[in-house]
Copies of this chain bind each other. A is one copy, B any other.
Amino acid sequence: MTVPATTRQLRSLVTPEGQVRISLATVDTPQPRPHQVVVRVEAAPVNPSDLGLLLALADPGAAEVDDSPEGPVVTASVPEAAMPSMRARLDQSLPVGNEGAGTVVAAGDSPEAQDLLGKRVGFSGGGAYGEHALTTAQACLPLPDGATAADGAASFVNPLTALGMVETMRREGHTALVHTAAASNLGQMLARVCLADDIGLVNVVRRPEQADLLRDLGARHVVDSSAATFMTDLVEAIRATGATMAFDAVGGGRLASDILNAMEVAVTDPDAPYSRYGTDVPKQVYVYGSLDRRPIELRRGFGFSWGVGGWLLMPFLASLPVDDLVRLRSRIASELTTTFASSFTEEITLDQVLDLDVLRRAARTSTGEKFLIVP
């Protein structure tokens, strides 16, 4: 394997003055430690979680691009309200890209790392938006024969998140799920997992055409939050599935509250004696995204047996017994082009990320478009 001495990486930096600066840096190609590998990146998806780090909540519509001796630099203003949360990253040139696929071109001395040398893998780890990425052997999934880099580029975050939601549901004693922003790439994957595993799933979407997309997939319970009948529809679907756990990508406004209230109505036995503490059926909403950045507003009509909390993939994986992780990863590998297929609408190069028109389109988190970076 030939590994060049230097490599190019996409970087994002927030200045104390409130500007985000996005550029391509040329850096020394990293040297792997014993348990690490260097992947020559062939494909990396643009996930909403990547955009958060890349753009630092700035509006790409108002971004500008300047030339510098090191090449173009995209600059945009970080909203003032978001600056306190940027404190810990100020003035740091951060690599971007949570996952990708490519070929392992250098490996540390450990047997696990050496074993991957020359193989095409999907991988997770920061810095996937670059020509080469450093990650651990454990964070690599060798791709099945015939799988392309595009097939494997999104084999970590969304597949493990979808399976992680189902595992969390089982672990906490629930039997069916509600999912919001359900027409997303992740949402479609979760819908396929739930269909395959015969798990009740209430898909909450924001527009009628998203409902159609999910119904075409075979989803049985799709509820449109823009419909006048939303609350009734939601109660009905929750009653039909018995869903008492929700995963919410929206994370602002009243949606989490609406879901808890609908669950409470659905599980209340109209013939049971009155309790002003509500039912004793546990109802849980896990917030795993921030599509709506307003505060979460909880209108408590759902008794006292409820919880709302944050959910993140990495802490979940850290809590998972190794055997379970192996089981999930084997499943992803064997269903990579079916259950866990991602479809990308556009391939772009690293340089094109600094093209304002391309960046603006890639930054839209609306469903239906999904970009793949091909370094």
- CA A272 – CA B89 in complex, angstroms? 10
Residues of chain B contacted by A31 (CB below 8 angstroms): none
State how many angstroms separate the Cβ of A227 from the closest Cβ of chain B: 21
Which A285-309 residues sit within 8 Å CB-CB of chain B?
287-288, 290, 295-301, 303-309
Indicate which residue in B94, B277, B303, B315 contacts A280 across the interface (CB closer than 8 Å): B315
Band of interface residues on A = 35 or more
The 8 A CB mask of A299-341 against B (1 = contact, 0 = none) is 1110111111111101100000000000000000000000000
Residues of chain B contacted by A287 (CB below 8 angstroms): 304
- CA A105 – CA B114 in complex, angstroms? 80
For the complex, is A257 an interface residue (Cβ under 8 Å from B)?
A: yes
- CA A304 – CA B287 in complex, angstroms? 8
Q: Are A308 and B307 in contact (CB under 8 A)?
A: yes
- CA A62 – CA B88 in complex, angstroms? 53
Residues of chain B contacted by A252 (CB below 8 angstroms): 300
Which A80-110 residues sit within 8 Å CB-CB of chain B?
84-85, 88-89, 92, 94
Indicate which residue in B89, B268, B310 contacts A276 across the interface (CB closer than 8 Å): B89
Q: Are B88 and A272 in contact (CB under 8 A)?
A: yes
- A300/B290 contact (C-beta < 8 A), A88-B272, A295-B257 known: yes
Indicate which residue in B88, B273, B275, B312 contacts A305 across the interface (CB closer than 8 Å): B312
Q: Are A276 and B52 in contact (CB under 8 A)?
A: yes
State how many angstroms separate the Cβ of A216 from the closest Cβ of chain B: 32
**What residue in chain B is nearest A288 (Cβ atoms)?**
B304
State how many angstroms separate the Cβ of A314 from the closest Cβ of chain B: 8
For the complex, is A251 an interface residue (Cβ under 8 Å from B)?
A: yes
Could you tell me which A residues sit within 8 Å of B by CB distance?
52-53, 84-85, 88-89, 92, 94, 251-252, 257, 268, 270, 272-277, 280, 287-288, 290, 295-301, 303-312, 314-315
What are 14 inter-chain pairs, A to B, with CB distance below 8 A? A52-B276, A85-B276, A277-B314, A295-B298, A295-B299, A296-B297, A296-B298, A296-B300, A297-B298, A304-B310, A306-B309, A308-B308, A308-B309, A309-B309
